[in-house]
């Protein structure tokens, strides 16, 4: 018998949690509930396959909770919000969200979004099949247990910040991170414009140390006007 997929639903409105839980359980999912952002962070372990986070929650907003959750899980996150401005959507994606659904939403739309996100995560290989201790791309290997980087078998010595940037990009392959995304994720501080140069200097150092090229074969790709990604 196939194991049920587990979905975390975090919303400070008990009625909304109940409605979402009933909808999801009717589709055969197992639901875990959280009443605020801090509880969502605590419950977002490796056994959770998808998270539905309200944005406006006490303790920690959905955005803050997602940023913390991304340190331990790459399971898809769908934000729920009464707001539908582009700025809110942009913020949601920048902290690691995968989708955004404005309230009020229809049952069919919620289920469709959930199924699509789970399909990308579970079927197309985004979810690790084992508690993998390494990440691989190009000729680079990141040893997650020992926090070290190897290129073609030889160790590359990175600073903590450089390692954090490389790990962020490697854990989110094909996702473009702006300078602001990188700074707030790695430094864990609010972004300010002068931080642009700081991030660019660290990125240059990383590329030099891993033997990255500046041609089309580059390991860390520059997406002009948007940021950086690893394919």
Domain end marker among 89, 123, 157: 123
Q: Assign 222 a pLDDT band (cuts: 50, 70, 90).
A: confident
Round the average pLDDT of the chain to a whole number and report it: 85
229 vs 171, 182, 224, CA distance in Å? 10, 11, 11
Q: Assign 53 a pLDDT band (cuts: 50, 70, 90).
A: very high
Domain end marker among 63, 95, 123: 123
Omega within 30 of 0 (cis) for the link into 104 = yes
Q: Is position 69 within any domain?
A: yes
Pairing of strands 140-143, 148-151: antiparallel
Both 69 and 158 in one domain: the answer is: no
Both 11 and 87 in one domain: the answer is: yes
What is d(CA 56, CA 64) in angstroms, rounded to the nearest whole number?
Answer: 10
What is d(CA 228, CA 53) in angstroms, rounded to the nearest whole number?
Answer: 26
Give the 3-state secondary structure of residue 132: coil
Both 115 and 148 in one domain: the answer is: no
Q: Contact at 8 Å (CB) between 185 and 67?
A: yes
Both 102 and 182 in one domain: the answer is: no
Q: Is position 197 within any domain?
A: yes
119 pLDDT exceeds 60? yes
Q: Is position 118 within any domain?
A: yes
Both 115 and 159 in one domain: the answer is: no
Q: Is position 129 within any domain?
A: no
**Total count of domains within the chain:** 2
pLDDT digits (tens, 9 = 90+) for 90-104: 788 888 888 888 888
Both 101 and 81 in one domain: the answer is: yes
Both 97 and 173 in one domain: the answer is: no
* CATH number of the domain enclosing 39: 3.40.50.2300
Residue ranges making up the domain that contains 109: 6-123
* CATH number of the domain enclosing 181: 1.10.10.10
Both 142 and 201 in one domain: the answer is: yes
What pLDDT shows up at residue 1?
A: 40
Both 104 and 158 in one domain: the answer is: no
What is d(CA 230, CA 218) in angstroms, rounded to the nearest whole number?
Answer: 9
What is d(CA 194, CA 143) in angstroms, rounded to the nearest whole number?
Answer: 32
Both 98 and 14 in one domain: the answer is: yes
The contacts of residue 172 (CB under 8 Å, 6+ apart) are 74, 96
Both 78 and 146 in one domain: the answer is: no
Both 213 and 184 in one domain: the answer is: yes
Domain end marker among 103, 123, 143: 123
Higher-scoring residue by pLDDT: 73, 56: 56
For tokens 């639901």, the residue is 31
Sign of CA dihedral 190, 195, 200, 205: negative
Q: Is position 1 within any domain?
A: no
pLDDT digits (tens, 9 = 90+) for 19-50: 999 999 999 999 999 999 999 999 987 788 99
Q: Assign 75 a pLDDT band (cuts: 50, 70, 90).
A: confident
The contacts of residue 153 (CB under 8 Å, 6+ apart) are none
Angle (nearest 5°) at CA 123 between 54 and 53? 5
Q: Assign 124 a pLDDT band (cuts: 50, 70, 90).
A: low
Q: Is position 167 within any domain?
A: yes
Q: Is position 195 within any domain?
A: yes
């Amino acid at each position: 018998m196939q194991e049920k997929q587990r979905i975390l639903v975090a919303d400070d409105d008990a009625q909304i949690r109940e409605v979402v839980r009933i909808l999801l359980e009717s589709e055969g999912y197992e639901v875990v509930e959280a009443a605020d952002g801090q509880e969502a962070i605590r419950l977002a372990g490796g056994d959770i396959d998808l998270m539905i986070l309200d944005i406006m929650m006490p303790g920690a907003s959905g955005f803050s909770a997602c940023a913390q959750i991304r340190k331990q899980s790459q399971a898809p996150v769908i934000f729920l919000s009464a707001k539908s401005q582009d700025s809110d959507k942009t913020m949601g994606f920048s902290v690691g969200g995968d989708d955004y659904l404005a309230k009020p939403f229809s049952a069919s739309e919620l289920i469709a979004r959930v199924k699509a996100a789970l399909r990308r995560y579970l079927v197309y290989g985004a979810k690790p099949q084992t508690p993998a201790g390494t990440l691989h791309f190009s000729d680079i290997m990141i040893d997650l247990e020992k926090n070290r980087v190897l290129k073609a078998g030889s160790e590359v010595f990175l600073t903590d910040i450089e390692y954090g940037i490389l790990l962020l990009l490697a854990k989110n392959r094909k996702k473009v991170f702006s300078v602001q995304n990188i700074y707030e994720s790695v430094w864990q501080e609010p972004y300010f414009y002068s931080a642009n140069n700081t991030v660019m200097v660290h990125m240059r150092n990383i590329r030099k140390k891993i033997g990255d090229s500046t041609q089309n074969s580059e390991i860390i790709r520059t997406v002009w006007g948007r940021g950086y990604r690893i394919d």
